[in-house]
Structure 1
Amino acid sequence: MGSIEKENKEMRRSLHLLTSKVERNEAILRSFFEMEIRLLSCSSLDELLDLILIEFRAYFRLTAVNLILLDPESAARTLLDDYTPPEPGHSLRFVNNQRLLKSLFPTPKLRIGELSAPLKSIAFPSTPSVLSSALLPLVRHNCLIGSLHLGSNDPTRYSEHFDYDYIGHLASVISVCIENCINQQNLKRLSIIDMLTKVNNRRAFDQEIIKELSRASRHKTALSCLFIDLDFFKLVNDNFGHQIGDKVLQAVGTLLKKNLRKTDFIARYGGEEFAILLPNCDSEKAMEIGNQLRQKILHMVIHDNECKPFRISASIGVTSCTAESFAFDDLDAQAHTLLKAADEAVYQAKDKGRNRIEYRSLPDMKPELFHSLSTSLNDR
């Protein structure tokens, strides 16, 4: 084989390697672009975390993906009450200050390659098989807000001898997405949460009852409603002051959240009145639940400004509906009917001496009666 032929063969080989490298890089960039679009489309923090902690691992063929988030005021944790991070443990951690993050990033720059044993124990505490990694600092407004760790059992996967600009860009996108999800969800939460008791507010309840009635109608299941009105609450404010009154409301809100299912919906409906929706719950079970709550409220001990204990009681009204309870398909009318019956049951409980529970069945509703019902409720 002549020298020219050898040279041509070597050139073709080099060209083939170069072409393969370009195609591989294009594929990598395309995959990162596709993932960037998915990140930006996430509307909630738990959806975003699932994408990062679960799908990243399969999509990029990684051994481990871990995330540390700075959350000094529990703004993120508050949004993740029902979220379970993927196994193994430590895939998601929250920190209240930057001390741990600063140990990973003395300067907020991407860290690539094999980690020292101390750093690996921080970045991948449950995955010692990681042999190379990319640690991504998450920065917003010049503040280090977190750290994303991509780990591989391939020692050549991440090397300090190569540039990883696309990973650095991905870190910026993730930082923006985390901040946006937290801010948007907290704004939404502020609009539907009663800030004193930390349960839902009346606006949220009015929206939820329509959803639950629709769901109950579709699945042919029962829906029960409880109204809880604290007895002689005005006397608490008059005798102990509004701060103690607020303390009572907070304690009741906490008690209700602790003693009901996650599928139940609790709201502060008025000043000292709470409303509860119990999906897939018939009248008998609703009465049982209501009486348990009444007893727990009665045995709850509150302390006044001088640390003297006192108790408070509640009157509870209960009503239930099934798919057969209504003669017409109007969710607003059904909601008004349900609320009116529960409200009347509360007044019945108070008329009979308070600290008791009463059940009020739904009237037979006719379409022509709805207008007068709605008018009377809205005028209250």
Structure 2
Amino acid sequence: MERKTLQKQNEELQRTIRMTVRRIEHNETILKRFFDVELKLLACNKLSDLIALLLTDFKHTFKLSAVTLYLFDPDELAKDLLIGIPAAHSKALTLFKRPDELNELYPNSELQAGELSTGLRKLLFPDNPFVLSAAMLPLIRQDCLIGSLHLGAQDSDRYSIDYRYDYLSHLCSVISVCIENCINQESLQRLSTIDPLTGVHNRRAFSHDIAREINRAHRTQEQLSCLFVDIDHFKTINDNYGHQTGDRALRTLGNLLKEQFRKTDLISRYGGEEFAVLLPSCSEKEAVCVAENLRQAVEALIIRDIEGSPFRLTASIGTSTFAPALVIEKRDDKALRYQSELLLKQADFALYEAKRSGRNRVFSHALKAVRRENESIDQSVNG
């Protein structure tokens, strides 16, 4: 009898040991996942990449039914940085300008887990009615609630109020820091490349953009067009209406350019009253058509001075088009720099022709990439 009792106790002990080992292995797997995710979070430099990681990778990595995110965005910095994100991410992300709705979710500023009420499920997971349990992670930075991450599961036992979620609490802190860092870094970068008056790229950004787009044109064998847009008689506007009205005219033209062009087009204030626009995958004929439409749109603008008196603008536009050769021997930095400068020079020359011919006109030039040795390129650029 005693022998049977000892055998039974031994079996129970072995079963307990096996279960404990399985729990340890399971916990180690979870911790490894969290460690890997944490490294990915810390490596993110762009807010859009971080959002993709939270809304897509989290769902697959942790086998969740749904993931949604709230962010407090009073100055719309995040909104500007997330223009053009995939529709799936946009649907799962909500930006708030006021903190009230966020604060209502966390009366104690603590992580919450467990089954969801019908109302809360519809609020947090409007597109997923099958979420039965969830973890609500408050994202807090410097004692301020900046967001809320929601992990939803179809299993009602996946998240429970009785469990400890130390690893999730730690992850909350990491995510909060990463969100703040991405917004700050990208905002600073934007400030260094954006013209503060018009809100378009500045000349520094344009120099980087044109080299990249020339290289892309070679890879894709697609044409690249450039527009130079110059406000006619801008000095007269400043002299007659004042510099404040001149600034208003520049802002108005900057806004018109952003409305007229595609998201893939690159708009810059090149200097003074002159703007430059890069049109990827755009032929000479298409560029002239686009420029003429823009010229007419500028002519239709009504600007008002500080006293409310209306006046109109006109603009002269020069276009140039780069058509990459099917074969080119050299595509190094010197060759790309030469081709960039040539594209700009031709657009500038076309603009000069438009102004010389009476202004409020469109002129165009086209050029093709040719095979050049570095020596001849150096002579052309420096000469």
Sort the TM-score into its range (normalised by shorter chain).
Answer: over 0.9
Structure 1 alignment gaps of length 5 or more: none
1:118 matched to which residue of 2? 119
SS in 2 for 1:2: helix
Number of residue pairs matched by the alignment: 375
1:351 paired to 2:356: yes
Structure 2 alignment gaps of length 5 or more: none
SS in 2 for 1:86: helix
2:189 & 2:231 partners in 1: Cα distance? Answer: 28
1:243 & 1:327 partners in 2: Cα distance? Answer: 51
2:339 matched to which residue of 1? 334
Residues 46-80 of structure 1: CA deviation (Å, up to 9, x unaligned): 11111111121111111110100000000111011
1:204 matched to which residue of 2? 205
1:245 matched to which residue of 2? 246
1:59 & 1:317 partners in 2: Cα distance? Answer: 52
1:306 & 1:256 partners in 2: Cα distance? Answer: 25
1:35 maps to which of 30, 34, 37: 37
2:377 & 2:6 partners in 1: Cα distance? Answer: 95
Which deviates the most, 101-110 or 126-135?
126-135
Q: 1:243-282 residue pairs with structure 2 within 5 A?
A: 243-282=244-283
1:308 & 1:349 partners in 2: Cα distance? Answer: 29
Quick check: 1:104–1:119 contact (8 Å CA) kept in 2?
Answer: no
% of aligned pairs identical?
Answer: 46
SS in 2 for 1:269: strand
- Displacement of 1:363: 9.2
1:371 & 1:20 partners in 2: Cα distance? Answer: 68
- Displacement of 1:371: 4.9
Which deviates the most, 238-247 or 158-167?
238-247
1:59 matched to which residue of 2? 61
Quick check: 1:300–1:312 contact (8 Å CA) kept in 2?
Answer: yes
1:8 paired to 2:14: no
Quick check: 2:133–2:157 contact (8 Å CA) kept in 1?
Answer: yes
SS in 2 for 1:126: coil
1:351 & 1:364 partners in 2: Cα distance? Answer: 28
1:48 maps to which of 50, 53, 75: 50
Cα 1:327/1:26, change in 2 over 3 Å: closer
- Displacement of 1:81: 1.1
AA at the equivalent of 1:228: V
1:141 & 1:220 partners in 2: Cα distance? Answer: 50
1:168 matched to which residue of 2? 169
2:74 matched to which residue of 1? 72
Quick check: 1:315–1:357 contact (8 Å CA) kept in 2?
Answer: yes
2:72 & 2:118 partners in 1: Cα distance? Answer: 23
AA at the equivalent of 2:147: G
Quick check: 1:336–1:373 contact (8 Å CA) kept in 2?
Answer: no
Quick check: 1:90–1:125 contact (8 Å CA) kept in 2?
Answer: no
Quick check: 2:324–2:368 contact (8 Å CA) kept in 1?
Answer: no
- Displacement of 1:328: 6.4
- Displacement of 1:119: 2.8
SS in 1 for 2:109: coil
SS in 2 for 1:52: helix
- Displacement of 1:240: 1.7
Quick check: 2:136–2:150 contact (8 Å CA) kept in 1?
Answer: yes
Quick check: 1:45–1:182 contact (8 Å CA) kept in 2?
Answer: yes
- Displacement of 1:307: 1.7
1:82 paired to 2:84: yes
1:148 paired to 2:149: yes
SS in 2 for 1:135: strand
| TM-score when normalising by structure 2 | 0.93
| TM-score when normalising by structure 1 | 0.93
2:369 & 2:114 partners in 1: Cα distance? Answer: 72
- Displacement of 1:229: 0.5
